[in-house]
Amino acid sequence: MPWKLIPLLLFLGWMTSVCSARARTDLLNVCMDAKHHKAEPGPEDKLHNQCTPWKKNACCSARVSQELHKDTSSLYNFTWDHCGKMEPACQRHFIQDNCLYECSPNLGPWIQEVNQKWRKERFLNVPLCKEDCQSWWEDCRTSYTCKSNWHRGWDWTSGSNKCPNGTTCRTFETYFPTPAALCEGLWSHSYKLSNYSRGSGRCIQMWFDPALGNPNEEVARFYALALTAEARPQGIRPLLLCLALMLSLWLHD
């Protein structure tokens, strides 16, 4: 009888509202579980220099932002100058890379668990806007390094990173012949060179004008929504089949 369908229809309406397209909130406005990240993002009015775009909502503290601008930071005892002085035009990109890593609360869709002593999470394959990757490579191609992967393989016996035995200092262009080789290989695929441009809402910007807002918030929402849509069918399909069976039984009652 029609009146018997009312509870089922109400339940279906509720399920529709719950399962409608929306981004997973656990992927938005979050900080990684890593060595120097805050537990939760929030305002940081005194962020230093290149990290200031994140001052309205940051995962880094003012002290961390200051350390990121040093040639050899006490945060990780890592030096850019392992093959002589890095050119300032190149170094600014590495500072900005570190500011994004330490300060951004918009990397949730790419956070992965890791089993490392100094962090429990990292980001992987963040789609970096093609202009940011291209300019990074252009400004660093004449600076020098001795490795194509900076995540591992250094000589730490002195307390900071040194070139390991058997390596030779050569130009960045030798170790990173293309922009993709630099952005994707440098930190073990933390980034992925995107085909999208800045302002598209589909790639993460390393550089942005905070007066115009943080464009990476929109990007994070887009990819969080995409991940939600990918995950939804596996969990919802059995429920929908069950509801269809219930409906069939009620209609034949």
d(CA 84, CA 80): 8
Compute the radius of gyration of the chain from its Cα atoms. Answer: 23
CB atoms within 10 A of CB 190: 21
- Angle, alpha carbons 82-84-85 (nearest 5°): 105
Does 137 fall in a domain? Answer: yes
- Residue at 145 is within a domain: yes
Residue 10 covered by a domain: no
Backbone phi, psi, residue 123, to 5°: -110, 150
Which domain, by its residues, includes 87?
Answer: 24-246
Q: How confident is the model at residue 7 (pLDDT cuts 50, 70, 90)?
A: low
Give the count of domains, the chain: 1
| Burial class of 116 by CB neighbour count within 10 A (0 to 12, 13 to 18, 19+) | exposed
Tokens of 29: 């406005």
Instruction: Give pLDDT tens digits for 107-160.
Output: 999 999 888 887 888 999 999 999 999 999 999 999 999 999 999 999 999 999
Is the residue at 218 inside a domain? yes
Is 252 a member of any domain? no
The tokens for 187 are: 């930190």
Note whether residue 9 is domain-resident.
no
Predicted TM-score (pTM) of the model is 0.80
How large is the average pLDDT for residues 235-247? 51
Residue 228 belongs to a domain: yes
Confidence at residue 243, expressed as pLDDT on a 0 to 100 scale? 53
In a domain, 60, yes or no: yes
